[in-house]
Structure 1
Amino acid sequence: MSFWQIAGCITAVKVLLIPSYHSTDFEVHRNWLAITHSLPISKWYYEETSEWTLDYPPLFALFEYLLSQIAQFFDKKMLDVKNLNYASEATVLFQRGSVIATDLLYMYAIQEYCSYCLGGERKKAAFYKTPQFTLAVLLMGNFGLLLVDHIHFQYNGFLFGILLLSITRICQGRIIEGAMWFAVALNFKHIFLYIAPAYFVFLLRNYCFSSNKDGSVRWSSFSMKRFISLGIVVSMVFLLSFGPYIILHQLGQVMTRLFPFKRGLCHAYWAANFWALYNIADKVAAVIGVRVGLVSPGVTQAAMTSGLVQQYDHAVLPSVTPVVTLACTVTSMLPYLIHMWRHPTGPRGFLRGIVLCAFSSFMFGWHVHEKAVLLIIIPLTLLAMTKKTDAQVFVLVSTTGHLALFPLIFTQPETPIKYCMMLFFTILCFVQLGDVFHDHGAWYRLPLLSVMESMYVTGLMAVEVYCSLLHWLFGLQHHLPFLPLMLMSTYCAVGVSYSWLKFYRTCLLDRTVNVVKQD
């Protein structure tokens, strides 16, 4: 099977998912189509007829505008700003089709990375016999992307395509082009700010400085020419993106939409991160406090378990502010960023920096969405093919992180679909990577994982059974409606936190010096 045959099979699955359930994000993007098509650019970031206001960077707004020029040939009514919650068959077909079509960029970026990885192996072995075949299957068939983009509905595929293209160009030594593509990704979706520190440190250290024989930075080697070249390329992308709003004196309004800090520490459904564990600790402390008479009974009815997007105070533990989350995020990144600076790294070290920054931002960021785990899993897939320890973390965090996405799809017709897709992808990960590293497990443990880790993964199934079935059989849905979500977030947060710590240890212990080639 060739690369593009794999792509064709995955695309066929996406087409079959067109009639499936879609979330409010479908209406979000329909509304953005209407805003950018019907209103002048000066009103795009002020329009608020719908609650789903435009809150992505300007390049994504331009992307929606370009899509709207095609959308008008399918159904003009979808482009009416006042036509809220409009979802005709033509509208669904167009929006689903646009996600599938733009995924071609993601597939192209995967093909480019696989070609870079293959090198001289292309003549030695057929594609389907190489580890890069496994890489292509795991990236294109990623369960999280299929669930979030092609059922729940979003446009993450082509955005990750831009990111992978940036990574590929940097690994190839085409540094300026790689920096440009990352700037483009940032101006499409600002979630990529999570991994910007890794890019900044890597490019500054490896492109603008050279090293002494012992690997330390040679300060006198700083190249102002290269630094300015990077600055010009990145600045030009940002200027093209934000320039119109600077001219219109609307930059402040745009930034307010991009960074709405009044949404609270956690999303309605908590992401499986440190703050989920913090919230649970606060809840347990409050309950115990009431029992021993140290806390008034009313505080146990914490707003954080209401399932609403809002600001709230913790009952016992100190309440967390955006500044605190920023400090925790930066502090957790610093050890490896310093490591990247002190030890010049090649493509593997660069990818590890991206994954660790994504990990840290997911673990400690403000109002992190559960879908942000994909920013960890996709780049980590690239590393999973190169070293067994990285593959071990990948199978653990992908299984845990993907299961944490299950509550996004709660409709009955899609339930067997998500179970089958998740099961197939997870088995594929364990089997294929087990083959790559010659670790097929045993009756008492899963491939690549220890006994303890295997027991934890098995426990994920028990949590899902309770959340999807037993909670309702016990009749607790009226008394404890948020319990299944809370249990899922908390249990998955343990696995994600463990994966983060394990990956961090592996990265800091790696002293491999391998400088990337430069254009």
Structure 2
Amino acid sequence: MEEESNQKLDVALKCCHNPISGIWWFFAIAACVKLLLIPSYHSTDFEVHRHWLAITNSLPLSQWYLDETSPWTLDYPPFFAYFERFLSIFAKLVDPQIVDLQKGLNYNSNTVIYFQRITVIVSDLCLLYGVFRLTKNLDSKRRKSIWVLVIWSPMLMIVDHLHFQYNGFLLGILLISLSYLEEGNDLMGGFVFAVLLCFKHLFAVAAPVYFVYLLRHYCWGGILRGFRRLSAMGTVVVAVFVAAFGPFVYYGQIQQVISRMFPFGRGLCHAYWAPNFWVLYIILDKGLAFFFRKLGFNIQTPAASFTGGLVGDSSPFAVLPRFKFGEIHSRGRLQDG
């Protein structure tokens, strides 16, 4: 009896030290918290993604980037649209109204809330796999510290499971790419990063870093060897982009897709996310407006939002000049501002 108890104890201890079973415990605890957040607040992005389920399920591929049934038009790269199409298959089984292009507008039943929330939780398995690959060769203490920081990230919890997005899924793809680079498998790392760009183009901010790293680490070392490897990497990346954008090139809609992905009509801040020059420009404009109003000048405060997300609904600046790049409307025509 005592020997049997010791054997069970040994098995339990092995499970605790097993990285695979350990990371699943971290994920399970995080998933329980996420399930509790299902009925909580969600942003307009919830309706955005529900509508994308309807677009990709109800319309042929040739109409995905042309649809204007809702203001929340499809503006992510094609791989994310294919991802939404995959999810829409299950959405239709759960509740057909979720993917109804007309009846589904602003649909907010418990069914759609639970379905969409759970898709985000399940898609976090990609994040789980990415962080596991990246940390599998670390010592136990460092590995678990990273698991806590990533899997239990409060920011991801807020943005994905309250506000509603799929950032954990996308960051998981990035971590998978980095894990391949760490292993020395640069070709696979470049391939996965190209896939990520075709899911969400805002990750292009990391493209220069990838380019320099892969050029020096993978392509360097003699003219013939370098050219051969550069050709291999180029072929892989081009193949990914052809798979993503090829159908829309075939339909003659590549300009339309690009205009949706880069909606200048949303304003500089929304079109160019991240703490960059335009954010500082907006802060300076707000500060100058406040200063001049205190001096007695009649400075009008813009009513629209810099980051509202609707094409054409971008604030004019109160003091500083507005840059007129022209507004790329959802039909893909460039008009003078």
Compute the TM-score of the two structures, normalised by the length of structure 1. 0.54
**Counterpart-to-counterpart distance in 2, 1:8 and 1:306:** 39
Map Cα deviations across residues 124-160 of structure 1 (whole Å, 9 max, x no partner). xxx3xx1121111101011111111111111111111
**Counterpart-to-counterpart distance in 2, 1:312 and 1:175:** 44
Q: Which residue identity does 2:302 align to in structure 1? A: A
Map Cα deviations across residues 325-349 of structure 1 (whole Å, 9 max, x no partner). xxxxxxxxxxxxxxxxxxxxxxxxx
Contact 1:11/1:100 (CA < 8 Å) preserved in 2? Answer: yes
Q: Does 1:234 align with 2:255?
A: no
Deviation at 1:267, TM superposition (A): 4.0
Deviation at 1:315, TM superposition (A): 4.3
Alignment of structure 1 residues 224-303 onto 2, 5 Å: 224-267=227-270, 274-289=277-292, 297-298=297-298, 300-303=299-302
Alignment partner, residue 6 of structure 2: none
**Counterpart-to-counterpart distance in 2, 1:66 and 1:316:** 47
**Counterpart-to-counterpart distance in 1, 2:246 and 2:62:** 12
**Counterpart-to-counterpart distance in 2, 1:306 and 1:187:** 28
Q: Report the 3-state secondary structure (helix = DSSP H, G, I; strand = E; otherwise coil) of the residue aligned with 1:234.
A: helix
Alignment partner, residue 190 of structure 1: 201
Alignment partner, residue 207 of structure 1: 218
**Counterpart-to-counterpart distance in 1, 2:260 and 2:211:** 25
Identify if the C-alpha distance between structure 1 residues 316 and 86 changes in structure 2 by more than 3 Å, giving closer, same or farther.
Answer: closer
Q: Report the 3-state secondary structure (helix = DSSP H, G, I; strand = E; otherwise coil) of the residue aligned with 2:41.
A: coil
Contact 1:209/1:221 (CA < 8 Å) preserved in 2? Answer: no
Identify if the C-alpha distance between structure 1 residues 233 and 276 changes in structure 2 by more than 3 Å, giving closer, same or farther.
Answer: closer
**Counterpart-to-counterpart distance in 2, 1:308 and 1:24:** 12
Alignment partner, residue 145 of structure 1: 156
Alignment partner, residue 94 of structure 1: 115
Q: Report the 3-state secondary structure (helix = DSSP H, G, I; strand = E; otherwise coil) of the residue aligned with 1:18.
A: coil
Alignment partner, residue 7 of structure 1: 27
Q: Does 1:163 align with 2:174?
A: yes
Q: Which residue identity does 1:46 align to in structure 2? A: L
Q: Report the 3-state secondary structure (helix = DSSP H, G, I; strand = E; otherwise coil) of the residue aligned with 1:223.
A: helix
Alignment of structure 1 residues 412-491 onto 2, 5 Å: none
**Counterpart-to-counterpart distance in 2, 1:191 and 1:70:** 28
Q: Tell me which of 56, 59, 74 is aligned to 2:94.
A: 74
Q: Report the 3-state secondary structure (helix = DSSP H, G, I; strand = E; otherwise coil) of the residue aligned with 1:19.
A: coil
Map Cα deviations across residues 61-106 of structure 1 (whole Å, 9 max, x no partner). 1111111111111101111000201122221111111111111111
Contact 1:265/1:322 (CA < 8 Å) preserved in 2? Answer: no
**Counterpart-to-counterpart distance in 2, 1:194 and 1:260:** 17
Identify if the C-alpha distance between structure 1 residues 49 and 139 changes in structure 2 by more than 3 Å, giving closer, same or farther.
Answer: same
Deviation at 1:17, TM superposition (A): 1.1
Q: Which residue identity does 2:100 align to in structure 1? A: D
Alignment partner, residue 385 of structure 1: none
**Counterpart-to-counterpart distance in 2, 1:160 and 1:282:** 33
**Counterpart-to-counterpart distance in 2, 1:258 and 1:22:** 23
Alignment partner, residue 27 of structure 1: 47
**Counterpart-to-counterpart distance in 1, 2:74 and 2:246:** 17
Contact 2:305/2:314 (CA < 8 Å) preserved in 1? Answer: no
Q: What residue ranges of structure 1 are gaps of 5+ in the alignment?
A: 122-126, 211-218, 324-519
**Counterpart-to-counterpart distance in 1, 2:240 and 2:303:** 39
Deviation at 1:304, TM superposition (A): 7.4
Identify if the C-alpha distance between structure 1 residues 290 and 155 changes in structure 2 by more than 3 Å, giving closer, same or farther.
Answer: closer
Q: Which residue identity does 1:303 align to in structure 2? A: P
Map Cα deviations across residues 203-232 of structure 1 (whole Å, 9 max, x no partner). 11221113xxxxxxxx75761110010011
Identify if the C-alpha distance between structure 1 residues 105 and 271 changes in structure 2 by more than 3 Å, giving closer, same or farther.
Answer: closer
CA RMSD of aligned residues (A): 2.5
Q: Which residue identity does 1:282 align to in structure 2? A: D
**Counterpart-to-counterpart distance in 2, 1:144 and 1:11:** 15
**Counterpart-to-counterpart distance in 2, 1:192 and 1:290:** 39
Deviation at 1:285, TM superposition (A): 3.1
**Counterpart-to-counterpart distance in 1, 2:108 and 2:263:** 28
Contact 2:130/2:175 (CA < 8 Å) preserved in 1? Answer: yes
**Counterpart-to-counterpart distance in 1, 2:149 and 2:220:** 35
Identify if the C-alpha distance between structure 1 residues 246 and 80 changes in structure 2 by more than 3 Å, giving closer, same or farther.
Answer: same
Deviation at 1:312, TM superposition (A): 4.5
Deviation at 1:277, TM superposition (A): 3.8
**Counterpart-to-counterpart distance in 2, 1:29 and 1:275:** 27
**Counterpart-to-counterpart distance in 2, 1:267 and 1:253:** 19
Deviation at 1:282, TM superposition (A): 2.8
Contact 1:265/1:321 (CA < 8 Å) preserved in 2? Answer: no
Contact 1:162/1:181 (CA < 8 Å) preserved in 2? Answer: yes
**Counterpart-to-counterpart distance in 2, 1:306 and 1:185:** 29
Q: Does 1:109 align with 2:130?
A: yes
Query: How many residues are paired up?
Result: 300
Identify if the C-alpha distance between structure 1 residues 78 and 234 changes in structure 2 by more than 3 Å, giving closer, same or farther.
Answer: same
Identify if the C-alpha distance between structure 1 residues 77 and 305 changes in structure 2 by more than 3 Å, giving closer, same or farther.
Answer: closer
**Counterpart-to-counterpart distance in 2, 1:53 and 1:316:** 31
Identify if the C-alpha distance between structure 1 residues 317 and 39 changes in structure 2 by more than 3 Å, giving closer, same or farther.
Answer: closer
Alignment partner, residue 39 of structure 1: 59
Map Cα deviations across residues 420-441 of structure 1 (whole Å, 9 max, x no partner). xxxxxxxxxxxxxxxxxxxxxx
Contact 1:78/1:87 (CA < 8 Å) preserved in 2? Answer: no
**Counterpart-to-counterpart distance in 1, 2:149 and 2:205:** 23
Identify if the C-alpha distance between structure 1 residues 246 and 290 changes in structure 2 by more than 3 Å, giving closer, same or farther.
Answer: same
Q: Which residue identity does 2:142 align to in structure 1? A: P
**Counterpart-to-counterpart distance in 1, 2:142 and 2:279:** 36
Percent identity between matched residues is: 47
